[in-house]
Amino acid sequence: MEAKFHELLNYIDESRLVMTWVDALDIAFIAAFISIALVWMQRRALRSLLFAVLPFLLIFLTAQSLKMYLTSMLFRFGFIALSIAFVVTFQEDFRRAFEALAAWRFGRQAISNPTALVDLIVGCIENFSQKKTGALFIFQGRQAIRPYVRAGISVEGRPSLPLFQSIFDRHSPGHDGGVTIINGRIEELGVHLPLSRHSEDTGRLGTRHAAALGLAEKCDALVIVVSEETGGISFAQNGRLRPVKTAADIRRTLRDHLRSLGPVRIHRSIFQIPWLRLATAAGISFSLWLGFARPTQLVQRMVEVPIVYRNLPKGWEARPPAPSHVKVTLLGPEGPVIGIDAAQLAASLDLEGVVPGEQTLVIGEQGLDLPRRVRIKGIDPSAIRVAAYQTTEHETAVRIQWTESNFRNPSSRAYTLEPKKVQLRIPSNVDAPDFLETEPVDFRVLRRNGRLKVKLKIPHELEALGVTPNTVEVLLSAP
């Protein structure tokens, strides 16, 4: 199980190599549709449909993975019929969604004095609640309510307490209907609303509550109900009906609803986005892309690159690595992988925390400058034995080694050396020699030329890391 889990994580990690901006846009579109579907699933009917369809979806996915051709073919043919049935059954939801999209806009005009309207409505509702006067206030949202209300009487009047009292007076012909308030003015009175089909939500509250919930299920209007029997106050909004206990709750809900009708404030609406639902939709969309749409054209390429040291502390030296090259396996889309110039790559060893002596160091990826969609799958070998040590510099004298053809060594007054001493850099645990010898010099050649440039001999056991300079000049002295 653990191996399968690591394989899945590796598969997800490799997906970033093949994902392009087109794939990201594709995932974003599907996530938006899934988010809308999750909102729809809040309705009971749609939740029931989900629970009914989910087992069949699992059967279809299982049939696809096991290559059950007969079952898969049956589901493919039935998919068209199910799609048509889905659209016909939930055509009301589709219509609401398109109406909401058409009604939404940035520059809708806000009510000129929403505070005064809120105070008036709150006062009216408290008055009606105390007197047990039945009332139905309908505040239009961004979606039009005209397609859902009927039998109304056009008023186009300014809201006031006496006007509302006359409208909802028991002897008034329109008191059983509702009052629509649009843009801060009374649009119609005596309107009839569609009744909700969910009787369990309205219970024994009566027809007014069923009508209020019915309209809230079809659009984004806010409906406030005052019960004629109990004087209780209820809100119907976003397909739900809830009781109200305080005037502050009425004031806050109505104020928020009226503010939402004004120009959209992007910086404020961002924080009102249901992030959990969006994250769920994005996760489902990404999972679908991994399972059905993820490209699989990943290729591997093996290149041989040299090893280089980096971050070597000052005053330290390290022996050349053995082996001097490693094999690097690259993974990614074919184009970027094939287009890599292996001559420009180098595997690096970090020597920042090096200690004296031999040690095993892991090869890093810092020196491998790869395209964004190419990753390293493996390095062989992944670790190298490195010998490092601190160094010291010594000033060492130079002595000439004469050839055997000279029957005797010339007097030191017969020649001069330039320079007579050199700087020798050796490991700190090695003793510095008293002198360094030159390569053999024939005095007869020196007499003939008058000047010779010769190299210095570095004993192998000395492990010298540098000599400055590494050559000297022998000059014949004047007679």
- Judge if 254 and 120 occupy the same domain: yes
237 and 283 co-located in one domain: no
CA distance 65 to 292: 11
| Alpha-carbon gap, residue 226 to 232, rounded angstroms | 6
Phi and psi dihedrals of 168, rounded to 5?
A: -95, 15
Say how far apart CA 361 and CA 26 lie, in whole Å.
Answer: 44
Indicate if 75 and 96 belong to the same structural domain: yes
State the CATH number of the domain containing residue 461.
2.170.120
449-458 CB contacts, 8 Å cutoff, 24+ apart? 450/475, 450/476, 451/475, 451/476, 454/400, 456/398, 456/422, 457/401
Q: Are residues 65 and 120 in the same domain?
A: no
For residue 44, the model assigns a pLDDT of 46
Share of the chain above pLDDT 70, in %: 74
Residues 428 and 349 grouped into a single domain: no
Alpha helices in 104-160 (DSSP H): 114-131
3-state SS class at 328: strand
**Assigned domain for 15 exists:** no
The full DSSP string for 227-291 is -TTT--EEEEETTEEEEE--HHHHHHHHHHHHHTTS---HHHHGGGS-HHHHHHHHHHHHHHIII
Name the domain boundary from 334, 354, 381. Answer: 381
Confidence at residue 273, expressed as pLDDT on a 0 to 100 scale: 54
For the chain, the first-to-last Cα distance in angstroms comes to 93
Are 432 and 471 within one domain?
A: yes
| Residue 2 within any structural domain of the chain | no
Strand ranges (E), 400-470? 415-418, 421-427, 435-437, 451-455, 466-468
Question: pTM to 2 decimals?
Answer: 0.43
- How far is residue 350's CA from residue 363's CA, in Å, rounded to a whole number? 8
User: 107 pLDDT exceeds 50?
Assistant: no
Give the pLDDT band of residue 87 (cuts 50, 70, 90): low
Q: Is residue 3 part of a domain?
A: no
C-alpha 182/C-alpha 185 separation (Å) is 6
How does strand 135-139 pair with strand 178-182? parallel
- Position 341 in a domain: yes
Neighbours of 463 (CB within 10 A): 15
Radius of gyration of the chain (CA): 44
**Which of 364, 381, 398 is a domain's end point?**
381
Same domain? 93 vs 121: no
In whole angstroms, give the CA distance from residue 261 to residue 255: 10
Tell me which amino acid residue 97 is.
Answer: A
Tokens of 391: 């160094």
Q: How far is it, in rounded angstroms, from Cα 151 to Cα 149?
A: 7
Of 89-103, 242-256, 260-274, the range with the lowest mean pLDDT is: 260-274
How many residues in the chain? 479
Tens digits of residue pLDDT in 380-430: 888 888 888 888 888 888 888 888 766 566 776 777 888 888 888 877 777
And the tokens for 126? 């408290």
Last residue of a domain, one of 348, 381, 414: 381
> Given this model, what pLDDT does residue 334 score?
74
Please report whether residue 353 resides in a domain: yes
> Residues 338, 283: one domain?
no
Q: By mean pLDDT, which of 206-215, 360-369, 402-411 is the weakest?
A: 402-411
The parent domain of residue 248 ranges over 114-263
CATH of the domain at 181: 3.40.1700.10
Q: Is the Cβ–Cβ distance between 193 and 178 less than 8 Å?
A: yes
Number of domains in the chain: 4
pLDDT tens column, 90-106 = 666 666 556 555 554 44
Q: Which residue has the tokens 């659009």?
A: 219
The enclosing domain of 349 has a CATH number of 2.170.120.30
DSSP 8-state assignment for residue 292:
I
348 assigned to some structural domain: yes
Q: Phi first, then psi: what are they for 7, rounded to 5°?
A: -65, -40
Shared domain check, 235 and 181: yes
Judge if 26 and 160 occupy the same domain: no
CA 32/CA 135 separation, integer angstroms: 39
Which residues are paired to 471 by β-bridges? 455
Contacts for 105 with CB less than 8 Å, ≥ 6 apart:
142
Assess if residue 4 is contained within a domain. no
**Residues 362 and 445 reside in one and the same domain:** no
Q: What is the pLDDT of residues 146-186, one digit of tens each?
A: 778 887 788 778 888 888 888 888 877 777 788 888 888 88
Give yes or no: residues 218 and 255 share one domain.
yes
